[in-house]
Amino acid sequence: MIWKSPTLHALPTLCKTGFIVSISSYVLFWTTDLLVPGFVSRYFSVHLFLAAAIVTGVCWSLTLKEYEEQPWLQLLVAILLGILACVIVWNSGEDLGGYRLLVAAVALCAPLLILQLLKE
């Protein structure tokens, strides 16, 4: 029977597919809702896809037998999160005055510092 075969790992494949589909659907529908407000959110919450992505991502991570470290992907995610944090701090930090640039620079470097701490 194919589903009892030791070479076929159905659960990790299913969780991986569910994660990729739900996270890509979330990004697509959220971007569409930003471009045309109410186009998606009028019918259902876009954040349901995010919840599904979290559940399937956790399930996928629990089913992995072997951890493969990909340092370039970790660095890319840390840089993107740093840029996102910097933009958020810069746009919402009008009340910081002269410290706005300093706090934005700290927000830019924080994900890289956290990544270095986690690797040690």
pLDDT of residue 94: 83
For 31-51, how does the pLDDT look when each residue is reduced to its tens digit (9 = 90+)?
Answer: 898 888 888 888 988 889 999
Q: What proportion of the chain, given as a percentage, has pLDDT over 90? A: 30
Distance from C-alpha of 100 to C-alpha of 89, rounded to nearest angstrom: 8
pLDDT of residue 4: 57
For 56-76, how does the pLDDT look when each residue is reduced to its tens digit (9 = 90+)?
Answer: 999 888 887 766 777 888 889
Q: Where are the alpha helices (DSSP H) in the chain?
A: 10-35, 47-63, 71-92, 100-119
Q: Are 56 and 15 in contact (CB under 8 A)?
A: yes
For 89-103, how does the pLDDT look when each residue is reduced to its tens digit (9 = 90+)?
Answer: 888 888 888 898 999
**What are the residue boundaries of the structural domains of the chain, listed by start?**
1-67, 69-120
0.85 exceeded by the pTM?
no
Mean per-residue pLDDT of the chain: 85
pLDDT of residue 24: 93
Q: Are 48 and 21 in contact (CB under 8 A)?
A: no
The one-letter amino acid code at 52 reads A
